[in-house]
């Protein structure tokens, strides 16, 4: 039987065809990824850089159009300076140092503290000073630019807790007390200057969780315990002081789990941004709709990926600032517009 000689393609041509196929696949994959990001709404605008030392693990609260920020860690030192950011004017101004009761008073530098507001006054307490978890608490009067001590927290001293408030009370819970992750919650009464332990939170222990407030509801979740990012998500009704579970943060549709993130709200939507996912530092941003109990991913945070950032927000505007990315401590400040198309040039 006569053999037929098949003509083989030159080796160079064969490699060229493979290369074209691979390049086409990469281009399609890249375009698909870009299209996915383009489909998301949200725009970040760079605002006035913080005037002080770059830092992470600071605390913040908002009163009207003023965002207050202080304490934290800069990689070398624990800090006690205190600042205000004018949201309308887009500038920073330094105020009386945190807990500076008198000129002879030793400052109380710390990181990983908590803060809340009641009746246009700010409250800061707890945290870590490099050696010990702390339980002291202080009230700040913006009109006088003065600090005054209040009754120390009556739970165990701790860091990495969460805090929020109603018009008449402050609430503090979870965190790490040096020995154990916590899940207890306490209510502060400014009239009686006293703490009352609350019952009814059925969630997991955790540290470094986050929360945001929409009208008379507080939404709380994320955080880590025993090295595991927690996935339960809860709502606290300020009027009834009752906790209720919501859909977990890890479903077939999304995964919002992380720790050391920052939370804020704009209008009737809540947001969780940045943080530590357990496999790396994230710049992802998620929007929560309380009407549907569902999360939607927004345009990623445009600054450095980071953890331990702060946020301040009023009913219509929100800012994310500071934090750290690895060993880099940050001083930038970004405003978020959740329903605008991303513009990388602003």
pLDDT class of 47 with cuts at 50, 70, 90: very high
Q: Which residues pair with 149 in a beta bridge?
A: 138
pLDDT (0 to 100) of residue 344: 82
Architecture per CATH, domain 43-337, reads as 6 Propeller (2.120)
Tens digits of residue pLDDT in 119-152: 999 999 999 999 999 999 999 999 999 999 999 9
Per-residue three-class SS string for 263-293: EEEECCEEEEEEEECCCCEEEEEEEEECCCC
293: tokens are 């109990």
| 114-118 and 121-128 beta bridge pairing | antiparallel
Q: What is the rounded (10 degree) CA torsion for 129, 119, 331, 256?
A: 90
pTM for the model stands at: 0.88
pLDDT class of 180 with cuts at 50, 70, 90: very high
Give me the residue spans of the domains in the chain. 12-41, 43-337
Nearest alpha-carbon partner for 212 in 289, 148, 152, 321: 289
């Amino acid at each position: 039987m006569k053999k037929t000689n098949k003509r083989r393609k030159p080796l160079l041509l064969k490699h060229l065809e493979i290369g074209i196929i691979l390049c086409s696949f990469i281009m399609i994959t890249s375009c698909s990824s870009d299209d996915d990001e383009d489909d998301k709404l949200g725009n970040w605008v760079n605002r006035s850089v913080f005037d002080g030392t770059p830092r992470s693990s600071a605390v913040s609260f908002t009163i009207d159009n003023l965002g207050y920020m202080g304490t934290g860690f800069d990689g070398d030192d624990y800090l006690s300076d205190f600042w205000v950011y004018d949201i309308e004017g887009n500038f920073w101004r330094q105020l009386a140092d945190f807990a500076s009761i008198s000129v002879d008073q030793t400052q109380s530098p710390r990181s990983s503290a908590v803060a809340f507001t009641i009746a246009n006054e700010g409250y800061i307490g707890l945290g870590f000073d490099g050696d010990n978890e702390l339980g002291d608490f202080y009230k700040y009067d913006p009109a006088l630019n003065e600090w005054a001590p209040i009754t120390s927290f009556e739970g165990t001293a701790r860091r990495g807790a969460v805090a929020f408030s109603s018009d008449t009370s402050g609430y503090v819970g979870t965190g790490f007390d040096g020995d154990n992750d916590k899940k207890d919650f306490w209510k502060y009464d400014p009239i009686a200057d006293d703490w009352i332990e609350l019952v009814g939170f059925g969630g997991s222990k955790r540290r470094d969780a986050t929360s945001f407030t929409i009208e008379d509801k507080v939404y709380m979740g994320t955080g880590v315990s025993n090295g595991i990012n927690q996935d339960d998500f809860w709502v606290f009704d300020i009027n009834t002081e009752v906790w209720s579970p919501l859909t977990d943060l890890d479903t077939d549709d999304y995964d919002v789990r992380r720790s050391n993130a920052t939370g804020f709200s704009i209008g009737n939507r809540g947001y969780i941004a940045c943080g530590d996912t357990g496999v790396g530092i994230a710049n992802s941003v998620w929007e929560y709709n309380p009407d549907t109990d569902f999360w939607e991913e927004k345009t990623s945070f445009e600054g450095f990926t980071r953890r331990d950032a702060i946020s301040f927000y009023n009913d219509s505007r929100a800012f994310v600032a500071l934090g750290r990315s690895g060993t880099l401590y940050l001083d930038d400040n970004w405003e978020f517009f959740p329903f605008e198309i991303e513009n990388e040039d602003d």
